[in-house]
Structure 1
Amino acid sequence: YILAGDVFQVVLSQRLSAHYKGDPIDLYRALRTLNPSPYMYFLDFGTYCIVGASPEILVRSEDGVITVRPLAGTRPRGETEEEDQRLEVELLADEKERAEHIMLVDLGRNDIGRVSKLGTVRVNDIMQIERYSHVMHIVSNVTGELLEGKDAIDVLRATLPAGTVSGAPKIRAMEIIDELEPHERGIYSGAVGYIGWNGNLDTAIAIRTAVLIGDQVYVQAGAGLVADSVPNTEWQESMAKARAILRAVAIAELPE
């Protein structure tokens, strides 16, 4: 599909599953300790639970300012500070990762531009590195001023799903994902957050997230594929993204 010109990038994911005998809240506690993230959540729906530690905002609309922060470009964390620094330099120098990131920043600009005042969309904090427990990412910040007559639902509709978990162009990428992935995504790559009575909105992308149903836990992770992607490298990236959740599952099952 990429070589045929259907898409520039598509984000394909894999679902992992395991038996889990512990309490869901113990998994949340383990994840909060192991992989503290900007968005931590524990949702109990009775028949299933969702536990997550997402590093990535989907979209925020606060006091008339819309914000998205695309995370695109990943390396595993190093064993030492020196290795971390080496991997950070390598990531920022990788032409493929830089091109992919800029493409998704541009997609984010286009998304919020649909609900922003003309001429207010700005990119700042361009291509910074954010480190988490098991991976590091390239991140940029995109903002715009909310257009009069638009509200939080309009903002959510303009940005969901994020390009960083679907691809570009988004609609065709989603069609390819629907065709190729063997499972429906469910909460994965969706949104967790709130809409306030004052019209503010704050949502995270549902990544680094586990779904617990009965004695099973399901974890999904993906990677963005482009024309020059190396399959094994992309597979390793998706496994690195899942590692914190899988480690938390193992810790949560340990006897006290």
Structure 2
Amino acid sequence: MKPGFLIAELPYRQDSSVLFSPWAGEPWAMFLDSCFPQDQKGRYDFIVARPSITLLTRGNLTEIRDAYGIRLSPEDPFELLKKCLGEPLPTPYGFPFCGGAVGYFAYDLARRLEKLPRIAEDTGAVPDMAIGIYDWAVVIDHFQKQAFLVARSTPQVRRLWPKLLRNLRRGEPRIGSDFYLHTPIQPALSFNAYAKAFSRVQRYIREGDCYQVNLAQRFESQASGDPWAVYLSLRRENPAPFSGFLRLPQLCVLSSSPERFLRVQQGRVETKPIKGTRPRRLNPEEDLFQIEDLLSNAKDRAENLMIVDLLRNDLSKTCKLGSVRVPELFRVESFATVHHLVSTVVGELKESQHSLDLLRGCFPGGSITGAPKIRAMEIIEELEPTRRGVYCGAIGYIGFDGNMDTNIAIRTLVYSPKDRRIRFWAGGGIVADSDLKAEYQEVLDKAAALVRVLSQFRISHVGG
């Protein structure tokens, strides 16, 4: 017999971080955050904690923890996740998510899908997949100004329900400890090293290996403390509609991504690739010029179109014949520090396909690899000195009903308390007519918001 659902209304808070705050220190507590009202593009926020099942994939093995214990499986992680979710279960109330899988799929999970070289440094600190299965979720609807606790009516949830409601209705903010940045933020590549990698990409393009490669680099600093403090600053300084905070046993992920990777709602598929960036200007006239320049730039439009074509091809693997189309091409979306050129590709998922089949067929996102995808990924492995980890993977949810929404994990920080390091990446697409200095500046523009947020936590700034 399939379980039904429980629902209870909670006090609405426009600042939903207050609702998450009591859970923020718990391992496997996760907050999918639209950053409303600072960012007006999002409607829903989701809070989950205390999963009934967890899955951690490293290399060829996935560790599964549930009520029956701990076991290791060599099975495909996407198939394992499908089994944990079970048969799609229709959910009531009209919410996009009422519980299911939440977490991340790291860029390097692609090694389970494609045969790639192993050249870049691998610290082994970041699992290739970290997903929890959650029987309950807090849903915050900013358009209706309502918040609800929704859950599958399992025996375990029914036992927890009264205490869960009391804790959530009380909503006492957690007093977080401070966070400290102990060293200046350092890039993994000097300008000269970046220039060498850039030249190598252009040579591959001239020789016909590829058309575009997304070349990124890592930035890092020694740090200590509670990254929840950093996330609160990040969502304030750089609000983005696909943000999130994921507390895992051995790392924390803090994302302020502007980019949707894949959404599935009742079988309708949408992806919104970003290609093309300009920094914001304080002067309104100069800022408008940046928008007009981005819209009219032939190179940016060509890059964007290249990725749109790649994603159309990826979607066609799991979507109904003839359903994949491009309703919107070359639209500028503005964020706190940058303007982006965004397109929209949609389709209809085949009845025989699961949302996870779509994710598997499109992973990792074409906007952060290049084209053709596999050759671009081989070049990335050769030229980037360190593995990407969570960066350029995907963060989001897959519901018990099969609905899904994921971001591209850009503008994303990863904090490892074990080695006391906080890291992030930034990059951009390189094509035949790319200019070295302009591409390097684009990397710095994308990194600027994260650098600014982290700089607030330098010991010299916080009185340490």
Q: Quote the offset at 1:43 in angstroms.
A: 1.1
With CA pairs under 8 Å and 6+ residues apart, which has the higher RCO, 1 or 2? 1
SS of 1:2's equivalent?
A: helix
Q: Which residue of 2 aligns with 1:130?
A: 333
Q: Which residue of 1 aligns with 2:276?
A: 73
Unaligned runs of 5+ in 1: none
Q: Which residue of 2 aligns with 1:188?
A: 391
CA distance in 1, matches of 2:286, 2:440: 21
Q: Quote the offset at 1:148 in angstroms.
A: 1.8
SS of 2:206's equivalent?
A: coil
Q: Deviation digits for residues 97-150 of structure 1, max 9, x if unmatched?
A: 111111111111111111111111121122110111111110011100111200
Q: Taking structure 1 as the reference length, what is the TM-score of the superposition?
A: 0.96
CA distance in 1, matches of 2:251, 2:273: 29
CA distance in 2, matches of 1:120, 1:30: 41
Matching residue's letter, 2:455: A
1:216-255 alignment, distance < 5 Å: 216-252=421-457, 255=462
CA distance in 1, matches of 2:393, 2:267: 23
Contact 1:75 1:137 in 2 (8 A): yes
CA distance in 1, matches of 2:209, 2:347: 29
Matching residue's letter, 2:374: I
CA distance in 2, matches of 1:54, 1:241: 11
Q: Which residue of 2 aligns with 1:171?
A: 374
Choose the corresponding residue for 2:351, options 111, 136, 148. Answer: 148
Q: Which residue of 2 aligns with 1:202?
A: 405
SS of 2:308's equivalent?
A: helix
Contact 1:210 1:219 in 2 (8 A): yes
SS of 1:178's equivalent?
A: helix
CA distance in 2, matches of 1:232, 1:255: 34
Q: Which residue of 1 aligns with 2:95?
A: none
Choose the corresponding residue for 2:323, options 107, 120, 124. Answer: 120
Matching residue's letter, 1:177: I
Q: Which residue of 1 aligns with 2:245?
A: 42
CA distance in 2, matches of 1:252, 1:111: 41
Which one is further off, 8-17 or 121-130?
121-130
CA distance in 2, matches of 1:231, 1:182: 19
Choose the corresponding residue for 1:99, options 280, 287, 302. Answer: 302
Matching residue's letter, 2:414: V
Which one is further off, 25-34 or 113-122?
113-122
Matching residue's letter, 2:438: T
RMSD in angstroms over aligned alpha carbons?
1.3
Which one is further off, 185-194 or 20-29?
20-29
Q: Quote the offset at 1:252 in angstroms.
A: 4.4
SS of 1:28's equivalent?
A: helix
SS of 1:43's equivalent?
A: strand
Matching residue's letter, 1:218: R
Q: Which residue of 1 aligns with 2:342?
A: 139
Unaligned runs of 5+ in 2: 1-203
CA distance in 2, matches of 1:210, 1:179: 23
Structure 2 residue 205 is matched with structure 1 residue 2: yes
Which one is further off, 14-23 or 166-175?
14-23
SS of 2:389's equivalent?
A: coil
Q: Taking structure 2 as the reference length, what is the TM-score of the superposition?
A: 0.54
The structure with the larger Rg is 2
Alignment size in residue pairs: 256
Matching residue's letter, 1:167: G
CA distance in 2, matches of 1:18, 1:137: 27
Choose the corresponding residue for 1:14, options 199, 203, 217. Answer: 217
Q: Deviation digits for residues 54-107 of structure 1, max 9, x if unmatched?
A: 100111111110100010011111122111110111111111111111111111
SS of 2:210's equivalent?
A: coil
* Runs of 4+ residues over 4 Å off in structure 1: none
Matching residue's letter, 1:94: N
CA distance in 2, matches of 1:128, 1:238: 21
CA distance in 2, matches of 1:183, 1:125: 35
SS of 1:107's equivalent?
A: helix
Q: Quote the offset at 1:22 in angstroms.
A: 4.3
Matching residue's letter, 2:264: S
CA distance in 2, matches of 1:105, 1:59: 13
